[in-house]
DNA sequence: ATGAAAAGTGAGTAATCACTTACAAGTATA
DNA sequence: TATACTTGTAAGTGATTACTCACTTTTCAT
């Protein structure tokens, strides 16, 4: 994960992975069949942890609170998961096939929340939340921004406090 | 640009580039010294075009209009430049060194605009605009979203219409 | 028309790539 | 303790990689 996140999938050799892990190169292929299999294992591992956070949002019944929680997600990224999310965002731009299903349910729950609140265009409102989450995640993962006041500012603009 | 944008820098071979361009592989190295040099040439070419759009924002003196124009930028991406921006956003996650200088001036002009408008925290407000631009660009380049009403919705939340 | 520079080619190069295979060491159960 | 299975290694494999070099063709001012 460390190497894929910093050098990219194609930029990382299986030899380098073996060295970093302190094992022989052959062992990688015994365990994961091929390089692609290793990537899939990493993604599955990460998404399993990530889907916990998504559920936490979806399970909130009060629509305003649900949207609030959704926006706060990128602000609460566990620094230990930083490399995973960097890898996920990097993959976004290269591999359309790796857009996992948890995201679909997440979006649907946002649309539902805005419908409950009687917004004119729930779909567009949900897209805007996704836009903000994507943008905040980008800034947090790549730069070191003053996240504290930013969350408040966003919630203000969206009348969510 | 086409190949780098779709397959990534490491995922694209110089042989493939030569074939796509209809020239010999050797010619690439005559013109650009090495593969990295070709990437730099592509980035310079694209940034030259992009800086025109940034100037258009910076040169607007009226602060509200300047911010409005800034937010509208990702909505007005020339489809011909789509591949370039995909490449730029993909590189973002792999190569920190390719964060070009025009962006710095652009951000400064946003902070200045919010200062003029008397906002409590112009830095955070500017960051939020960057967040939105990043997020919108991501959505527009990767998915095909209903951009029309999204822009209006954003301007509404930020009292910019 | 001439000649030198620029543009272009194609067959190389060593290095690196993902991956395989033959074999050894460890581990658990009967 | 014997056996079967898993875990692990080291030395390969052919293919592909970025890049070079000797050479030919084109361009263009004189």
Rounded distance between C-alpha atoms, residue A120 and residue A127, angstroms: 14
- Cβ neighbours of B55 (radius 10 Å): 14
Q: Which nucleotides of D are covered by protein (CB under 7 A)?
A: 7-12, 16-22
pLDDT value at position A70? 98
Burial class (CB in 10 A: 0-12, 13-18, 19+), B69: middle
Q: Tens digit of pLDDT for each residue in A88-126?
A: 999 998 877 666 778 889 999 999 999 999 999 999 999
pLDDT value at position A17? 97
CA distance A55 to chain B (A): 23
Mean pLDDT within A150-154: 96
Q: Which nucleotide is nearest to B24 (CA to C1')?
A: C9
Burial class (CB in 10 A: 0-12, 13-18, 19+), A104: exposed
Rounded distance between C-alpha atoms, residue B148 and residue B19, angstroms: 39
Residue with tokens 């969206």: A158
Q: Check A93 against B96: CB less than 8 A apart.
A: no
pLDDT value at position B103? 84
Whether the beta carbon of B40 falls within 7 A of nucleic chain D: the reply is no
Rounded distance between C-alpha atoms, residue B129 and residue B133, angstroms: 6
Helix spans in A23-101 (H): 25-32, 35-58, 63-72, 82-92
Distance B26 CA to D20 C1' (A): 8
- Smallest Cα–Cα separation from B69: which of B81, B52, B82, B85? B52
For chain A, say whether B94 makes contact (Cβ under 8 Å). Answer: yes
Mean pLDDT within A130-138: 95
Rounded distance between C-alpha atoms, residue B82 and residue B79, angstroms: 5
Count of domains observed in chain A:
1
Token couple for A123: 């779909």
Mean pLDDT within A38-53: 93
The answer, yes or no, to whether residue A146 has pLDDT greater than 80, is no
pLDDT value at position A95? 78
Token couple for A43: 């993604």
Give the range of the structural domain holding residue B43, as residue numbers without chain letter. 2-157
- Cβ neighbours of A82 (radius 10 Å): 13
pLDDT value at position B3? 97
Residue with tokens 């004119």: A120
Whether the beta carbon of A131 falls within 7 A of nucleic chain D: the reply is no
Distance A97 CA to C18 C1' (A): 22
CATH number, domain containing residue B122: 1.10.357.10
pLDDT value at position B148? 81
Number of H helices, E strands in chain B: 9, 0
Q: Check B132 against A127: CB less than 8 A apart.
A: no
pLDDT value at position B97? 64
The segments of chain B whose pLDDT lies below 70 read: 97-99
Whether the beta carbon of B30 falls within 7 A of nucleic chain C: the reply is yes
CA distance A146 to chain B (A): 8
pLDDT value at position A94? 85
Q: Which nucleotides of C are covered by protein (CB under 7 A)?
A: 7-12, 16-22
- Smallest Cα–Cα separation from A6: which of A92, A78, A111, A86? A86
Whether the beta carbon of B156 falls within 7 A of nucleic chain C: the reply is no
Mean pLDDT within A48-65: 95
- Cβ neighbours of A49 (radius 10 Å): 12
Number of H helices, E strands in chain A: 9, 0
pLDDT value at position A98? 64
Q: Name every chain A residue with its beta carbon within 8 A of the beta carbon of B130.
A: 135, 139
């Amino acid at each position: 994960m460390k190497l894929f996140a910093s050098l990219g999938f194609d930029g990382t050799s299986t030899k380098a992975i073996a060295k970093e892990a302190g094992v022989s190169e052959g062992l990688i292929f015994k365990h994961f069949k091929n390089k692609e299999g290793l990537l899939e294992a990493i993604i599955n591992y990460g998404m399993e942890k990530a889907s916990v956070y998504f559920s936490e949002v979806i399970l909130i019944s009060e629509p305003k609170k649900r949207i609030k929680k959704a926006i706060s997600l990128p602000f609460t990224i566990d620094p230990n998961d930083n490399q995973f999310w960097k890898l996920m965002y990097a993959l976004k731009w290269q591999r359309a096939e790796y857009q996992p299903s948890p995201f679909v349910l997440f979006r649907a729950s946002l649309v539902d929340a805005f419908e409950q609140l009687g917004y004119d265009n729930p779909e567009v409102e949900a897209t805007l939340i996704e836009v903000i989450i994507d943008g905040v995640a980008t800034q947090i993962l790549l730069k070191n921004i003053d996240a504290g006041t930013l969350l408040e500012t966003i919630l203000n603009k969206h009348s969510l406090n």
